[in-house]
Structure 1
Amino acid sequence: MKCIAVALTGLTLALSVPVASAEAPATPNLKEWNIPWDNTRPRDPWVGPGENTIWFVGQAGDYVATLNPETGDLKRYRLDPGTGPHNVIADKRGAFYAGNQAEHIGLLDPESGEIRKFKLEGEGPKDVHTMAFDANGDIFFTEQGGNRIGWLDVDQYDYRMFNVETEWARPYGLVVSKGSRPWVALFGTNKLATVDARGEIHEVALPREGARPRRLDITDDDQVWYVDYAEGYLGRFDIDSGEIQEWPVPGGTDAYPYAMALDDQGRPWFVETGPSPNRLIGFDPQSESFSEPATIPSGGGTVRHMVFDPETRSLWFGTDTNTVVRATLR
C-alpha cells in the first residue's frame, strides 16, 4: 500500500468563514414527503430509472421503497427482518440494496418483487455500507466494520476485496470517478482512500489529525470534495496536484456536516446535522461563498446521504424524522 502524505505547504486553509454573497448559491426550495411507516429511518434516495421514481430504503424498517414525487404514491418491498439496509442504487436491472446487518447485496426486481442475494465471504464483519456503480454497471462498495473496499461483478457474481491497511479506518462514503476509480472517506481516521487499476489501495492523509471525513463527491476533472464531520470543514483534494483546500463551515465545530453532493455546476452542498433543525448549505468555489442555510422543516434529526438529480436540478435525501426531501436549486 502506498500512503500519499499531503504536505502542509499543499494546504490552503480559510481561517474565516465566507458569508453569503451575490455569487453564493441561492437557497433552494425544500419539499418534504412524510413516510407513513413510522420510525423506519428512510434514507439514501436514488433517482430513477424511469420518470417519477425515487428509490429509498428503511434502515430501521427492513424495506426498499419507491416514491412518485408527482402523485405522492409510495410502494414498499419488505426485506427479511434484520436486513438493516443502508443504501440503494438502481438501474434497468432493478434496485441494488446494501444488506448491512445481513451481510449481502440484494438485487430487487421491481416487477416481481423477487430478490437475488449476493452473499459476502471472508472473516470479520461484512457490513455493506455505501455502493456506487462503475462505468460497466458493476458495483464498488464499502464495509465500515470490515475495514474493506469491495467490488462486485454483478453478471459473474465475482468479488474482489481490498483490505484497508490503517486499522479501524471505517471505510464509509464512496464515489466512483468517470474513469471507474473509487474514492472513499475513511471515517475512522483523517484519510481518504482509492483503489488503482492494479488493485492497490492508496491512502491520502489530510493535514489535520482530528479530521474525520464522512461523505464525499468528485467532479469530472478529478476534484474530490469532502466534509469533515468531526471538526466542521468542507475540503477539496486535487488528485493531480495533491493540493488540499479547506474552509470552515458556517456552523463551526458543532456543525457536524454529514450528507453532501455536488450539483451540475460543480458546487458542493452539505447538511449540518449539529444544529436543530438540520441546515442545508451550498458553496461556490469561485467566490468561496456559502449560501444562506435552508432549514429542514421537519428538523431532519440526522441527514446521512444525498444525491443530485441533474434532470430536475434537485437534491434528494432522507431524514431521521421519517421524511424524504427534495431540495430544488434555483
Structure 2
Amino acid sequence: MTQTPRAHLAAVTFALVAPAVGLVPSALPAQSRAAADSVQLTEWDVPWGAAGRPRDPSVDPQGRVWFVGQEGNYVARFDPTSKKFERFEIDPGTNPHTVNVDMQGDAWYAGNRNGMIGRIDGKTGKITRYPMPDASAKDPHTITFTTQGDLWFTLQNSNMVGFLNRKTGEVKLATMSTPRSRPYGIVMDKSGRPWFNLFGTNKLGTIDPQSMRVREYVLPDERARGRRIALTSDGAVWYGDYSRGFVGRLDPVSGAVKEWPLPGGGTSMPYAMTVDDEDRLWLVETGRQPNRLVGFDPRSNRFTSQIDLGPAQPNTVRHMVFDKTTRSIWFGSDRGTIGRAVVPAAGRKPIG
C-alpha cells in the first residue's frame, strides 16, 4: 500500500523556518536556530489508523523501516523509497511493544501481552517464536542486540530483564533487586553490558553478561523517573527524566550524575530519546502539544534545536532511532504516523 505524506506537509520534506509554532527563537543562540531551521521533517499516515498505535521503528539493512502496531496487533514495514507499507500478521493477543531489526535483516518483536519474543525472517516472512521460560515473565518490552546478534530485552511489569541466545533459543531472566522498578528502555555498551531505565524508581541499571548480576545506580532526586536511555561514544549513560523534565548524564565509573532542565521545564515529560553519530542527544517533549523534538549537545551542555512535530493535537512520540546512512531520526506517533527528521551534520567528531 502506497502512502503520501500527511496533508499538512507542503512537500515530501520541508524545513521548519523560525519562528515556527512553539519555537521561541530568542531562547536559542543564532547557531542553534540555524540547526533547528535545517531539520527536515516528514510524516506518513499509517494505513491501519491511529488506533493501532504505530510505534518503535527500526531500520533494516535495505533502508526499510519496520514498526509495530501495539494496539493493532501487527508488525509492519515501510519503504521510504516506494512509500509502500506492508503488514505482517502475528498471533492474536501478542500486542507487540517494539521491533528491532538485526544485521541479517530479521525483525525481532516483543510480545507484550503473550510472554514471547518473535522473529520474522526478513526474506521469507516466516515467524519463529521464543516463549518465556517463566510464567511470571509476561510482558517483553524493548529489545537491543549484542555484537553477536543475541538479544537483551526488558519486561516492565514483570520487573525483569531477559537475554535470548540467538543460536540456541535459550532465554535467561534476571529479576531486579528493587521491587516494582519497571525496567523500560534498554541499550548496549561497547563492553557488551545492557543499560536500562528503571522507570518505577529513581535508578538506572546494568547487568554483567557472564554472571547475570544486576547493578543499580541511584539518581540523586527521589522523583527522577528515566524512561528512555542512550549512550555517547565516551561511555556516558544518558536518560530523559519523564517526571521532572531533565536530561541527565551518569558516569558509569564514578556514579556521578549531572542534569540539565529541558526547554519545556517540569511539564516537558521527555519520552522518546536517541543519539546521533556526532553524539548529540535528541529527546521528545511529550508534555506539550504539539510534541517537540529537542537537541542537546554534550560538548557545550546546551540545547541546540527545538522542532515541533506535527500539528497541535493530542500525540505522543514514544521511541526513536537514528539511521546514520540517511542521517534520519525515525519515530512513530500516536497520531497514526511514521515520521522522519533528517538532522544536519555539524562536522564534529564523536566525543569518545
Q: TM-score, normalised by structure 2?
A: 0.86
- SS state at 2:266 partner: helix
Structure 1 partner of 2:144: 132
- Given candidates 74, 84, 87, the residue that maps to 1:76 is 87
- Given candidates 74, 77, 80, the residue that maps to 1:63 is 74
Structure 2 partner of 1:34: 45
Q: In structure 1, what residue type is equivalent to 2:130?
A: F
1:317 is aligned to 2:328: no
**Distance between the aligned counterparts of 2:275 and 2:319, measured in 1?**
12
Structure 1 partner of 2:343: 329
Alpha-carbon contact 1:236-1:246 (below 8 Å) kept: yes
- SS state at 1:287 partner: coil
- Given candidates 302, 307, 315, the residue that maps to 2:321 is 307
Structure 1 partner of 2:310: 297
1:106 is aligned to 2:114: no
Give the Å deviation of 1:296. Answer: 1.0
**Distance between the aligned counterparts of 1:241 and 1:41, measured in 2?**
40
Tell me which of the two structures has the higher relative contact order, counting C-alpha pairs closer than 8 angstroms and 6 or more residues apart. Answer: 1
Unaligned runs of 5+ in 2: 1-25, 345-352
- Given candidates 154, 161, 168, the residue that maps to 1:149 is 161
Alpha-carbon contact 1:19-1:290 (below 8 Å) kept: no
Q: TM-score, normalised by structure 1?
A: 0.91
Between Structure 1 and Structure 2, how many residues are aligned?
312
- Can you list the C-alpha shifts for 1:52-86, whole angstroms capped at 9, x where unaligned? 31111111111111111122111110112211101
Q: What is the identity percentage for the equivalent residue pairs of Structure 1 and Structure 2?
A: 46
**Distance between the aligned counterparts of 2:135 and 2:126, measured in 1?**
28
Alpha-carbon contact 1:24-1:283 (below 8 Å) kept: no
Q: In structure 2, what residue type is equivalent to 1:309?
A: D
Give the Å deviation of 1:300. Answer: 6.6
Alpha-carbon contact 2:138-2:158 (below 8 Å) kept: yes
- Given candidates 243, 266, 276, the residue that maps to 1:253 is 266
- SS state at 1:211 partner: coil
1:278 is aligned to 2:291: yes
**Distance between the aligned counterparts of 2:125 and 2:322, measured in 1?**
27
Alpha-carbon contact 1:24-1:287 (below 8 Å) kept: no
Unaligned runs of 5+ in 1: 1-17
- SS state at 2:114 partner: coil
- SS state at 2:52 partner: coil
Q: In structure 2, what residue type is equivalent to 1:40?
A: G
Pairwise CA RMSD of aligned residues? 1.5
